Structure 1
Amino acid sequence: MRVLPENHWKKLWNVEEKDWKNWHWQVKNRIKSLSELEKITGKDFSKEKITEKVFKVGTTPYYLSLAKDFSKNDPIFRQIIPDLAEIDETIQSYGSFDPFNEETLSPVEGLTHRYPDRVLFRATNFCSVYCRHCMRKRIFLEGEKARTYQEYDRMFEYIKKNKNIKEVLISGGDPLTLPNKKIGYILENLYRIEHIDIIRIGSRELVVNPFRFYDEKLLKLFEKYEKIWLVTHFNHPDEITQETKQAVKNILSTGTPVLNQTVLLKGINDNEKIMEKLMRSLLKVKIKPYYLFFCDPTKGVLHFKTSLKKGIRIMEYLRGRVSGLGIPTYAIDLPAGMGKVPLLPDYIVGEDENYIIFKNYEGKTVKVSKSYLI
């Protein structure tokens, strides 16, 4: 259960239900400072205000309402509240604001071309919530703004000229915080490029502002451009609510698949049971687990990092306990723009002249004849 009932939050903002469930209202009434959070929660965040001077604070009322406890022990609140560790150079020393060379691998401003067949289209640097673990934490240091139509046009032109590009990932910031007119402009122009097979939208709005998907105009855009896939970002089962379920039903009604990528985060989800519950909860609302990412080496984020092997152990635990539908690919994004690589448990534990020895999810071993495997 939420720390306070949903009605409490509506009373706090003196808002009617129809407004609370309006995505515009959620964005307009974002909490953008620790001083505001102090008034709402009754907590003292004077220490954290040092971090706030470097990395901004931002959350929707809805996402804040999911917290069960206003402390860093709560997985929701921990993703909202600044931490002194974010600016501790002993912790963050080997981090980078652009660990994957997104800016260096940018032939046109706003566009990153790392893989031969796909590009990253950064449509805005605005987000409804400033996630403390954000891999593009450099946007915390910038003003909140979207790109211009002229910038978009230069990006479209590059994509048109490069026929090897088959997929465009629209990201940001969060592209679904843009007005429908601008989203429609981006989708229409990409849709007209014949060699584009897939338009992937990366957004956390389903997590932090699910009412975005109550918007009929946005849903009509999804229905019109059937190349769209939506990739969202749930990190903890507490983020999945009845509002999530309704939003996903609305999205699926347009024929748009919904995938999820999770980041492995210390103190939030680095636990086998929590991860199992998350994967099961995603499947219940018809979201397909897609990726589980090792935490990126981004400056300001490294206090969330677990060991690489922690994720391997979690994947070993999930295998056999959760349907294959609920098993994500555990991966690390390599520095310097070298791309993602999967990290897999090793189920082959031995081999001799005639047999290969496998280990199953329970740790039991079985010898399989090599003649069977030819």
Structure 2
Amino acid sequence: MRILEGDYWKEIPLYENISEKEWKDWKWQIRNRFKTIEDLKKIIKLQNEETLKKVSEIYHFGTTPYYIFLADRQNPNDPILKQILPDEKEIDENYQQGAFLDPFLEDEKSPVEGLTHRYPDRVLFRATNFCSVYCRHCMRKRMFLEDERSRTKQEYDRMFEYIKSNKNIKEVLVSGGDPLTLPNSKLEYIIKNLYEIDHIDVIRIGSRELVANPFRFYDEELLEIFYKYDKVWLVTHFNHPNEITSETKKAVKNILSTGTPVLNQTVLLKDINDDKYTIENLMRELLKVKIKPYYLFHCDPTKGVYHFKTGIEKGIEIMEYLRGRVSGLGNPTFAVDLINGLGKVPLLPQYLIEKKENYYKFRNYEGKEVEVKI
């Protein structure tokens, strides 16, 4: 965990006159996002500027001052910069072969605009297509082609009516875009309406604000909403240990004080975190700040993203390494999300070697074999 002390942001000349009150205001972070390559040039010496502009005209760009601060801005291979900066591979068909704009048919499996119903017991509620940071590996990169906007009250109401009418639905994943970029009044309208549907047991909020704008969780009004509607779970998205700081720890403490659990989904990304030591470090750092590792995802076959994919074998190798080195608290489920909306498939190393009439043969994390009578 990186300890951020004093007026740390002032090491960037652009922010030398920014007060702590401003810097740690989540709305200030969003208002002062870097949204163009010209903006970014104020703090980074860019390479291949014309290429970056060309890509960002297709898949738009954005990041918060806090998140770009965490990067090593002199190193083009920095794992945070690689998640922020447009890359010509995003629009190069040689890298995007076999990928789709909507690989999981979220739009096709949408009985009401903005709502996706893939599993019998849960739905995806897309509250907005706006994010404070546009991750280059986003599974919904088709949103980057749209104008930034949240949905209207009328659209939300139609989504609520569908959920009310289907009592098999027990869980709602509120996502986007990033729903925690919405004003508190709009966010509470969504959560309150879902909370009051009797057959909804869990309201899961998917957000990257804890990574890119942890000051969102310094907002007492948001914390009161979390406390009031106790069906809420928060699922965040850390991909690299460099993203975890003392600001993260404070934000998580605030969230947990409301009784809201915090889980993390990581995506395995080529040249960013596809290394067993990096993932081990990430899992340990998450546990230090009391975030439970939940999923490690194989990179989705999304157009504009597929240059980040690794082999399935890489994920299994990492999971095999973690077993026995990190406790069960720190072992996520490695999964592949199948195209055409067919759902997630968990993948594990093979520990059951042989089955006979009266015993099973297992291999442990050290590679030792043992026979167990059943």
TM (normalized to structure 2)?
A: 0.96
User: What is the distance in 2 between the residues matched to 1:107 and 1:350?
Assistant: 46
Counterparts of 1:307-326 in structure 2 under 5 Å?
307-326=311-330
- Out of 28, 47, 60, the position equivalent to 1:25 is 28
Q: Which whole-Å CA distance do the structure 2 matches of 1:353 and 1:107 have between them?
A: 50
2:350 counterpart of 1:349 = no
Q: Say which SS state the counterpart of residue 106 (structure 1) adopts.
A: coil
Q: 2:18 aligns with which of 15, 18, 22?
A: 15
What secondary structure sits across from 2:238 in the alignment?
Answer: coil
| 2:366 aligned partner | 362
Structure 1 Cα separation of the partners of residues 3 and 60 of structure 2: 25
Question: How far off is 1:357 after superposition?
Answer: 1.3
Q: Output the CA distance in 1 between the equivalents of 2:162 and 2:356.
A: 53
**Residue number in structure 2 paired with 1:216:** 220
| Other-structure match for 2:133 | 129
Please give the root-mean-square deviation of Cα atoms over the aligned residues, in Å: 1.5
In the TM superposition, residue 165 of structure 1 has moved relative to its aligned partner by 0.4
Equivalent pair of 2:170/2:200 in contact (CA under 8 Å): yes
CA distance in structure 2 between the partners assigned to 1:10 and 1:195 by the alignment: 53
Q: Deviations along 1:168-189, whole A, 9 cap, x unmatched?
A: 0000000000000000100111
Mapped partners of 2:153, 2:19: distance in 1: 35
**Per-residue deviation, 1:349:** 1.6
Identical positions, percent: 67
The residue matched to 2:173 in structure 1 has which SS? strand
1:172 aligns with 2:172: no
Contact 2:9 2:15 in 1 (8 A): no
Consecutive unaligned residues in structure 2, runs of 5 or more? none
Counterparts of 1:76-155 in structure 2, within 5 Å, are 76-155=80-159
For 1:121, what is the secondary structure of its paired residue? strand
Residues 72 and 81 in structure 1, CA contact (< 8 A), matched pair in contact too:
no
8 A Cα contact 2:45 2:74, kept in partner: no
1:262 aligned residue (261, 266, 270)? 266
Deviations 1:179-234 (A, max 9, x none): 00000100111111000000000000000000000000000000000000000000
CA distance in 2, matches of 1:72, 1:365: 45
Deviation at residue 11 of structure 1 after TM alignment: 5.0
**Structure 1 residues 149-184: Cα deviation after superposition (integer angstroms, max 9, x where no partner):** 000000000000000000000000000000000001
Give yes or no for contact 1:348–1:359 (8 Å, CA) kept in 2. yes
1:358, 1:287 → 2: CA distance? 31
Structure-1-length-normalised TM-score: 0.96
Rounded Cα–Cα distance in structure 2 between residues aligned with 1:83 and 1:167: 36
Mapped to 2, the partners of 1:196 and 1:352 lie a distance apart of: 45
Deviations 1:309-329 (A, max 9, x none): 100000000000001000000
Q: State how many pairs are aligned.
A: 370
Task: State the 1:138 CA deviation.
Answer: 0.5
Cα shift readout 1:1-23 (whole Å, capped 9, x = no counterpart): 69995322375363101110000
> Which shows bigger deviation, 293-302 or 31-40?
31-40
Report SS of the residue matched to 2:134: coil
Partner amino acid for 1:235? Answer: N
Residues 1:305 and 2:318 are matched in the alignment:
no
| Uncovered stretches (5+) of structure 1, i.e. residues with no partner | none
Partner of 2:284 in structure 1? Answer: 280
Q: Which amino acid aligns with 2:65?
A: P
